[in-house]
Amino acid sequence: MILQLGMRVLIKNDKKNYLFNAGRVKKITKELPNFGKNRAFALDGDEGIWCIEDFEKCVNYPKLTME
């Protein structure tokens, strides 16, 4: 399943790497230009850069593999 704007994702529950966002659900608000070979996103309108590797699952479609 290809992630799209408006979908909600669960950030990995890893407090060491994600500190205050670990285990939180956030909405994809923007797809960012190429970030190396990975797709990059802005979540909840913030200016941070998030990649698919940062997400545990897509809350909207929890059983599908993210692309």
Model pLDDT, residue 37: 77
Q: What is the pLDDT of residue 45?
A: 83
Q: What is the pLDDT of residue 26?
A: 97
* Low-confidence residues of the chain: pLDDT under 70: none
Positive or negative: CA dihedral 48, 52, 53, 58: positive
CA distances from 65 to 14, 19, 56, 58 (A): 20, 25, 10, 8
pLDDT of residue 8: 97
pLDDT at residue 35 in the model: 75
User: What is this structure's pTM?
Assistant: 0.89
Side chain identity at 30, as an amino acid letter? K
Q: How far apart are CA 48 and CA 36, in angstroms?
A: 16
